[in-house]
Amino acid sequence: MRALIQRVTEASVTIDQSVYSQISKGLLILVGIENTDTQEDIDWMVKKITLMRIFKNQDEKMNNSILDVQGELLVVSQFTLHASTKKGNRPSFIKAAHPDLAIPLYEKFVNECASAITTKTGVFGANMKVALVNDGPVTIWLESKNRE
């Protein structure tokens, strides 16, 4: 499982010219499910995201988690995070999970996030327009397989 996490002051998902979901202070999480992902990957990712200290405290140091600041999550599925550009000029997405596997794992990930903090989503497989105001900017890449 891969995630690109962006600390935001606001973010939204628009589908068919209509805002589907939006958050204020929090994290925009673009998440890609790999064909070898399991519940263990979800558990690690949720714990890492919710406890990661990337929000400023009263001393302006990144020492608070999303839970500490009572922010929100906006989780958007994005299979292109598993693009391989090793050969040629057209990316391969062979490592990205097929929807039969990806959708249930994505939904489990969202549900586990939602059990800890306010979580909103896009629509799996939809053509979405994602807008954000990156705060910092703070952008972090996570991979559950490498635990980094």
- Over residues 123-134, the pLDDT tens digits come to 998 999 999 999
* pLDDT tier for residue 94 given thresholds of 50, 70 and 90: confident
Structural domains in the chain (count): 1
C-alpha span between 70 and 145 (Å, rounded): 28
pLDDT above 90 covers what percent of the chain? Answer: 84
Determine if the pTM surpasses 0.85: yes
pLDDT of residue 146: 87
Phi, psi values for residue 40, rounded to 5°: -60, -40
Kindly state whether residue 55 falls inside one of the protein's structural domains: yes
C-alpha span between 55 and 61 (Å, rounded): 8
C-alpha span between 120 and 78 (Å, rounded): 15
Q: Which CATH number belongs to the domain containing residue 82 in this structure?
A: 3.50.80.10
- Over residues 37-91, the pLDDT tens digits come to 999 999 999 999 999 999 999 999 999 999 999 999 999 999 989 888 888 888 8
Q: Beta-carbon neighbour count of residue 104 at 10 Å?
A: 12
User: Which residue range is the domain that position 10 belongs to?
Assistant: 2-143
Contact 28, 78 (CB under 8 A): no
Kindly state whether residue 134 falls inside one of the protein's structural domains: yes
118 is catalytic: no
Which of 14, 36, 50, 80 is the catalytic position?
Answer: 80
